[in-house]
C-alpha cells in the first residue's frame, strides 16, 4: 500500500525530475564558476617577485682576504676603525720570506759584481789588444822599410845577401804577428758577458718574486672606509677563501643580495627591488625601501648547501639611519605573470 502524507503548509517533496534538474543546475553552476575562476586566474596579471636576502654595503665596498695562506702574527686594526687605502690591517708570519729575500739579494749582488768585474776585464783586454795591434802594425811598417833599404843597398853591393834574408824574415814575422793579433776572437768574452747578464737578470727576477712574496704577507686596506672585522685571531692560519674584513667606503648605500640559483636566470639589471630591513620588521606594518638592480655577478656561488647569485642594488634609505652591515630581506620584480603561475611558481 502507498504511504499517505498530509501537509500543513509544507512544500510537497521534489519529484525525481526536479531532483535531477537541480543536480544539473548545480553542476553547470559549479562548472561555469570553475571556468570563470580559471580564466580570471589566467588573464589577471600580477607583479612577479623572487626572494633575495643580504645586507647593506656601500659604493666603495671591498672584501679583504689573505692573498696567501699564513699564520697571523699581528692584527693592526679592529672592527669599526676608519682606515685609508694602503693601511696595514694584518701581518702574517714572514720570517721565511725575509730569509729568501736576503738570500736572493745576496745572489744578485754577487752576480752584479761578477758581471762588473768581467766587463772591466774585457774592456782592459780590448784596450791591450788595440795597443798590441798598433805596435805590430808599426813593427811591420818598420820591417818593410828596413827591407826596402837593405834591398837598395844590396843592389849597390853595400849589403850582403844574408842581411837581405834576415830583413825579409823579419818582415814575415811582423806580418804573421800582425795577422794573429787582428784575427783574435773577441766574441768569447762578449758571450761570457751575455751569460753573466742573463744570470743577473734571472736573479733580479728572483729578488722581485721574493719581494712580492714578502709583500703578500702584509695585508693592506684596498680602499678607504670603515672596517667590519670577521672572526680570526693572532696565531690562526688564514687562507685566501676566508673574508677577514669588509671595508665600507663612499656615500651611496647598496644592498648586496643573494638570489637563490633557481631564480637567478630571471634577474637582470634595472629590475625594481624592494627590501625590508630586519631591524625594522614589525608584525603589522612593513617599511619597504625601494631600489633597482645595478649589477649581477655572472658566477653561481655556494655556501654549504645553498647556491646563489650575488646582485648589487642601490636604494633610497628614505631618511632612515642604515648602518652598513644591516641585514635585509628583499624581493626583486622580474616581470608580470598570471595568478596561477605565481601560485604554482611556474
How is residue 195 written as a grid cell?
A: 751569460
**In 10 A of CB 73, how many CB atoms?**
14
> Using the 8-state DSSP alphabet, how is residue 218 labeled?
E
- Tens digits of residue pLDDT in 157-168: 777 888 888 888
What pTM was computed for the model? 0.58
Q: String of b and e for 184-203 (b: at least 16 CB within 10 Å)?
A: eeeeebeeeeeebeebbeeb
Q: Identify whether the C-beta of residue 242 lies closer than 8 Å to the C-beta of residue 268.
A: no
The string of pLDDT tens digits covering residues 1-34 is 455 555 555 667 767 777 777 777 777 788 777 7
pLDDT of residue 44: 60
What is the structure's pLDDT at 263?
Answer: 86
CATH topology of domain 46-93+221-343: Elongation Factor Tu (Ef-tu); domain 3 (2.40.30)
What is the per-residue pLDDT across 243-262, written as a single tens digit (0 to 9) for each? 999 888 877 888 999 999 98
- At 154, phi and psi to the nearest 5? -65, -35
The DSSP letter of residue 315 is B
Q: What is the distance between the alpha carbons of residues 224 and 236, in angstroms, rounded to a whole number?
A: 26
Nearest-angstrom CA–CA distance, 195 and 115: 9
Q: State the number of CA atoms in the 13 A half-sphere of 278 facing the CB.
A: 10
260 Cβ contact list (under 8 Å, min separation 6): 50, 51, 52, 306, 307, 308
User: What is the spatial distance between Cα 114 and Cα 200, in angstroms, rounded to a whole number?
Assistant: 9
Residue 126 CB coordination number (10 Å):
13
Residue of 222, 217, 211 whose CA lies nearest to 238: 217
Residues 6+ apart with CB under 8 A from 18: none
**C-alpha of 184 from chain center:** 55
Q: How does pLDDT run across 198-230, given as a tens digit for each residue?
A: 999 999 999 999 999 999 999 999 988 888 888
pLDDT (0 to 100) of residue 110: 95
High-pLDDT (> 90) share of the chain, %: 36
DSSP code string of 231-294: S--TTPEE-TTSEEEEEEEEEEEEEEEEEEHHHHTT--TT-EEEEEEGGG--SS----EEEE--
- The residues spanned by each domain of the chain are 46-93+221-343, 97-215
Q: Shortest CA distance to 242 belongs to which of 58, 63, 55, 60? A: 63
Cβ partners under 8 Å of residue 115, min gap 6: 193, 196, 197, 199, 200
CB atoms within 10 A of CB 105: 16
Cell 648602518 sits on residue: 323
The distance between the two most distant Cα atoms of the chain, rounded to a whole number of Å, is 190
Confidence of residue 334 (pLDDT cuts 50, 70, 90): confident
Name the average pLDDT for the chain.
Answer: 84
Amino acid at each position: 500500500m502507498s504511504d499517505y502524507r498530509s501537509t500543513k503548509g509544507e512544500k510537497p517533496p521534489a519529484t525525481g525530475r526536479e531532483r535531477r534538474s537541480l543536480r544539473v543546475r548545480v553542476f553547470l553552476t559549479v562548472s561555469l564558476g570553475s571556468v570563470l575562476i580559471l580564466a580570471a586566474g589566467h588573464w589577471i596579471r600580477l607583479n612577479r617577485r623572487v626572494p633575495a636576502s643580504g645586507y647593506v654595503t656601500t659604493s666603495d665596498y671591498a672584501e679583504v682576504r689573505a692573498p696567501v695562506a699564513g699564520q697571523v702574527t699581528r692584527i693592526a686594526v679592529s672592527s669599526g676603525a676608519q682606515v685609508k687605502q694602503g693601511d696595514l690591517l694584518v701581518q702574517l708570519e714572514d720570517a721565511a720570506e725575509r730569509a729568501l729575500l736576503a738570500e736572493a739579494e745576496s745572489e744578485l749582488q754577487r752576480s752584479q759584481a761578477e758581471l762588473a768585474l768581467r766587463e772591466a776585464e774585457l774592456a782592459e783586454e780590448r784596450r791591450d789588444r788595440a795597443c798590441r795591434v798598433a805596435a805590430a802594425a808599426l813593427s811591420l811598417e818598420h820591417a818593410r822599410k828596413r827591407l826596402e833599404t837593405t834591398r837598395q843597398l844590396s843592389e849597390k853591393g853595400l849589403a850582403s845577401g844574408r842581411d837581405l834574408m834576415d830583413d825579409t824574415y823579419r818582415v814575415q814575422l811582423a806580418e804573421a804577428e800582425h795577422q794573429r793579433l787582428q784575427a783574435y776572437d773577441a766574441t768569447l768574452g762578449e758571450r761570457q758577458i751575455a751569460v753573466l747578464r742573463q744570470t743577473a737578470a734571472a736573479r733580479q727576477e728572483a729578488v722581485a718574486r721574493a719581494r712580492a712574496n714578502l709583500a703578500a704577507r702584509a695585508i693592506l686596506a684596498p680602499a678607504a672606509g670603515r672596517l667590519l672585522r670577521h672572526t680570526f685571531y693572532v696565531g690562526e692560519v688564514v687562507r685566501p677563501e676566508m673574508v677577514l674584513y669588509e671595508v665600507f667606503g663612499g656615500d651611496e648605500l647598496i644592498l648586496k643580495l643573494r638570489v637563490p640559483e633557481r631564480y637567478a636566470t630571471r634577474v637582470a639589471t634595472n629590475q625594481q627591488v624592494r627590501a625590508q630591513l630586519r631591524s625594522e620588521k614589525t608584525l603589522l606594518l612593513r617599511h619597504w625601501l625601494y631600489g633597482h638592480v645595478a649589477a649581477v655577478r655572472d658566477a653561481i656561488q655556494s655556501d654549504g648547501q645553498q647556491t646563489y647569485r650575488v646582485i648589487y642594488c642601490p636604494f633610497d634609505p628614505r631618511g632612515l639611519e642604515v648602518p652598513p652591515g644591516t641585514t635585509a630581506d628583499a624581493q626583486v620584480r622580474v616581470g608580470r605573470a598570471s595568478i596561477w603561475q605565481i601560485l604554482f611558481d611556474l
